[in-house]
Amino acid sequence: MQTRTKRISGSLGSPPARSGPGTCDVCRGPALVGLKRCWCCSETLRNLAARAAADGRSTWSAPPVVMPLAVFRAGDSLHRVLRGYKDATAVEARRYFTSKLSEHLGSVIEAHLDCVEASLGHSAQSLAVVPSASRLFRSGPAAVPIRSLEPVVDQVDPLSKLVRVQVILDRAAPPIGHLRHSPSAFEVPPVEKAVASGIRRVLLVEDTWVSGATALSAAAALTYAGFEVMAVVVLGRLVDVNASAISRKWWDESVDHVNPPNLRQCSLPKCIAVGVSV
């Protein structure tokens, strides 16, 4: 097996906490001690399952595996990059932040993509990105083009080679956002289902996880369309350290403040990266 002792530059944020007391088993954010899951993940998953049952459809038997590459606070460097690649006014600035984000994604993926296969028993066959929802609805469909994560993923070698499955916003559906989840917010075009015949396992990539409502809604839409969402790869999971004393304590005690994300074990159950400091 290849050892990965080489330091790969470019990763941002802090490594996500591994599963354990006080850490949500879905998003790896803070959870109340004694509970395995944070309130946002519990609510979103419960409501999506209820909605699926009401629609006569099945979703996942277990929640999708979420793989946050890093955690960050408002104002941290990863936060500035995640905002800048979509919101910076100048095209040159957006291009700069896009390349920073590709470096971040590439450096962690290089260290940990094999962990997906080791943890889940299969390799990914295809890849989908979560379209940016909030900007579309804030600015109006015609006013501002949707800035996409696609160019970020295109610059990351192992991911760019996967078959791309398109997930699009259903513009007729009510807007989604923080804690406003809906499996009908996204569509997987029928042509993609045909192209992907025989290709079922998909990696879903999201830029920012706040409550998880958007990513889990997109995962539900892919599941409805017949795909198996292997893992939701999240470039950064925002932690609001001002939300509660518990959140601040969790940030201080559960997050590695020394090592960059690519030098730590990832959040997957069977991290096989070698040479990382833990």
Q: Which residues bind Zn ion (CB under 5 A)?
A: 24, 26-27, 38, 41, 112, 115, 266, 271, 273
Cα 149 to chain center, whole Å? 11
Between the CA of residue 255 and those of 103, 108, 130, 158, 235, what are the distances in Å? 22, 17, 26, 28, 16
User: 3-class DSSP state for residue 263?
Assistant: helix
Least Å from the CB of residue 2 to Zn ion: 13
Q: What is the helix (H) or strand (E) element at residue 142, kind and residue range?
A: none
Nearer to Zn ion, 213 or 273 (CB): 273
Is the Cβ of residue 109 or residue 188 nearer to Zn ion in the bound state? 109
State in angstroms the smallest separation of the CB of 27 from Zn ion: 3
For residue 126, give the H/E element and its range: strand 126-129
User: How far apart (Å, rounded) are the C-alpha atoms in residues 264 and 16?
Assistant: 9
Radius of gyration of the chain (CA): 18
**What distance in Å separates the CA atoms of residue 60 and residue 50, rounded to the nearest whole number?**
12
Q: Which is nearer to Zn ion, 38 or 156 (CB)?
A: 38
Complex with Zn ion: residue 15 or 84, whichever CB lies closer: 15
User: Which residue's CB is nearer to Zn ion, number 154 or number 240?
Assistant: 240
How far apart are CB 37 and Zn ion at their closest, in Å? 6
The token pair that represents 58 in the structure block: 């099945």
Assigned token pair, 57: 């459809």
For residue 117, the minimal CB distance to Zn ion (Å) is: 11
The closest of 111, 107, 118 to 156, measured between CA atoms, is: 107
In whole angstroms, the minimum distance from the beta carbon of 231 to Zn ion comes to: 11
Of 14 and 98, nearer to Zn ion (C-beta) is: 14
Between 98 and 214, CB nearer to Zn ion? 214
- Residue placing its CB nearer to Zn ion in the complex, 153 or 273: 273
